[in-house]
Structures are given as C-alpha cells and as structure tokens.
Amino acid sequence: MKSPHTPHGPGFRFLDEFSIEGDTGSGRWHLDPGLPFFNDHFPGNPLVPAALLMESAAQACGAFWMNSEACSEKTPLFVASVDAMRVLAAARPGETLDIRVKLVRELGPLAQFEFETTSADRVVARGRITLSRQLAPAN
C-alpha cells in the first residue's frame, strides 16, 4: 500500500509508504533535506532526532496493527511504552530509512512490537514498542 495509513496529518507523518508481508511490516521514510528540524538539530551537523526515529517506528507498528489480518478493531492507537530503543547510527538528510516491524504479542488492547530501522547497509535504531487501543485516563 502506498499510503502509510496513519491517523497523523502530513506535518507529523514519518512514513512515506508501508507494506505488509506476512507477519512483518515495512515502512520507508525519505529524509528530505528541507525538513525543518534539520536546520537546528544540529547546525552544521544535521541529524534526525531520536524521538522522531522512535515516532517513525511507532507509526510503522501502528500501520501494521491497523492493517493486518489479525486486527479485528479499527480504533485509534497510542504509544503505551517504549520498552527498549537503541540508536546505533546517525540518520542524515537525503537518506531513506527502512523501518521493519514485527508483532511480538497481543495482550487485549495492547500489542508489543520489535522494530529495526536501517539506512543503506547500516542499522540506525532498534527496539521494542507497545501500542494501546485505549488512551490512558488523564489525572
């Protein structure tokens, strides 16, 4: 599927395309050098903030869960936790990130995923993210 099928508006969408192959999903995000965060993160040495690497992985996990055959409910998804994440290399303007996700387990309204983000032949980030179908109540 060409559309990433996320609920985010274009200003906060960090997937350009997404596909499902069996029990895994694959997303791509081209790092347009004109993205505004490259101006300030960091001047003269631009790179993608770790929080956006995590968000792109979470969006890929959500696209997988919402569009997989295993998904019976089409309700909104939220990040419940980032269970582990390691940034192993910088992601820079002009690169294309490949984000591979795999559903590890579903626990009622929760689903845990493993992800790996690569660019060319190197691993940029990897970890585990748990999504929830329910928004935590406000305190």
Q: Report how far residue 88's alpha carbon sits from residue 125's, in angstroms, rounded to the nearest whole number.
A: 5
**Tell me, what DSSP letter sits at residue 90?**
-
The model scores a pTM over 0.85: yes
Instruction: Compute mean pLDDT per 10 residues along the chain, 139 residues long, and list them.
Output: 68 94 94 96 97 97 84 78 97 98 94 97 97 76
- Specify the pLDDT at position 116: 98
Q: Report how far residue 65's alpha carbon sits from residue 68's, in angstroms, rounded to the nearest whole number.
A: 5
- Active-site residue, from 5, 8, 30, 41: 41
Task: Verify whether residue 41 is a known catalytic residue.
Answer: yes
- Specify the pLDDT at position 104: 96
Instruction: Confirm if 40 and 81 have CB atoms less than 8 A apart.
Output: no
